């Protein structure tokens, strides 16, 4: 059984937790700012299995992060324990050439309140708070302006920032899925040389005024659109950065 109090403590959430819009928004932001998007288990050779209990243990007890299946899988478990209605959604990530990746390539969440909301704490650099699932409604956030465009039964998440055109991030339908449906694609991302998760180590978190990222040995800080990079020299230095900036100890 999920220990809700421990999960809320992990993400630094101390307010009363009700199954309403305000709580959903606050939980989403708290999760994004405390639980990093990271793929370090892939590089450590630790299998990632589609199991909510394992996801929660890793995030809450081991004080780690994860990638989309883990982060949104665990967050769905927390939301359900708090009384929210949550559906797992299969999403296909947009490529530079305009095509989309395979089904189940990304896991996102539909949270049904008086109106539907798209929650996603597992995409990395994207929206900080959940999006109203209302086609064409532009929604301003610190990380950019977002909208959901509907084409038939397909919903497309798009973002723009100052000086940029609208760019698609991923697409999904509202078909409901089980966590086990994502298992094959989760395995693919851990083992295939074609997966970007097997090509570089990544650990990233939004900050109040930007983002901090460890990409292999490169430490990247973005502050109000100003980007600074520093190359770390050793694995020990990398591990110290993980601990200092992300609270992750391996």
Catalytic residue at 50? no
Q: Which of 161, 169, 17 lies closest to 78, judged by CA? A: 17
Rounded CA-CA distance 11/31 in Å is: 5
Take residue 135 and report the two structure tokens written for it.
């086609």
Residue 143 Cα distances to 9, 65, 151, 219, 224, angstroms:
25, 20, 25, 19, 10
Taken in order 3, 11, 204, 138, is the CA torsion positive or negative? positive
Q: Check 120, 186, 189, 203 and give the catalytic one.
A: 120
Quick one: DSSP state of residue 130?
Answer: P
DSSP string over 21-83: HHHHHHHHHHHHHHS-EE-HHHHHT----S-HHHHHIIIIIS---B-HHHHHHHHHHHHHHTT
List all residues 6 or more positions away from 103 whose beta carbon is below 8 Å from its beta carbon: 90, 92, 185
Q: Check 50, 106, 189, 203 and give the catalytic one.
A: 106
Q: Check 28, 31, 41, 68 and give the catalytic one.
A: 68
Torsion of CA 216, 171, 167, 184, to 10 degrees: 20
Start-to-end C-alpha separation, the chain: 26
* Alpha-carbon 23 to chain mean position: 18
Catalytic residue at 63? no
Q: What residues are annotated to the active site?
A: 68, 106, 120
């Amino acid at each position: 059984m999920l220990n809700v109090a421990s999960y809320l403590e992990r993400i630094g959430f101390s307010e009363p937790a009700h199954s309403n819009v305000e709580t959903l928004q606050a939980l989403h932001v708290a999760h994004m700012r405390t639980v990093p998007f990271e793929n370090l288990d892939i590089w450590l050779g630790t299998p990632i299995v589609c199991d909510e209990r394992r996801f929660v243990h890793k995030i809450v007890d081991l004080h780690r992060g994860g990638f989309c299946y883990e982060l949104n899988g665990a967050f769905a478990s927390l939301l359900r324990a708090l009384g929210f209605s949550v559906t797992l959604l299969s999403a296909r990530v947009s490529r530079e050439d305009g095509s989309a990746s395979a089904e189940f390539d990304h896991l996102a969440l539909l949270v049904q309140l008086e109106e539907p909301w798209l929650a996603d704490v597992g995409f990395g650099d994207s929206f900080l708070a959940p999006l109203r699932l209302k086609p064409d409604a532009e929604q301003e956030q610190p990380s950019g302006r977002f909208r959901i465009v509907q084409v038939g039964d397909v919903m497309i998440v798009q973002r723009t920032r100052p000086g940029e055109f609208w760019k698609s991030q991923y697409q999904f339908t509202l078909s409901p899925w089980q966590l086990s449906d994502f298992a094959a694609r989760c395995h693919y991302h851990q083992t295939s040389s074609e997966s970007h998760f097997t090509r570089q180590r990544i650990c990233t978190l939004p900050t109040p005024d930007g983002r901090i990222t460890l990409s292999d040995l490169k430490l990247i800080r973005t502050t109000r659109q100003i980007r600074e990079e520093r190359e770390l020299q050793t694995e020990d230095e990398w591990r110290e950065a993980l601990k200092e900036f992300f609270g992750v100890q391996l």
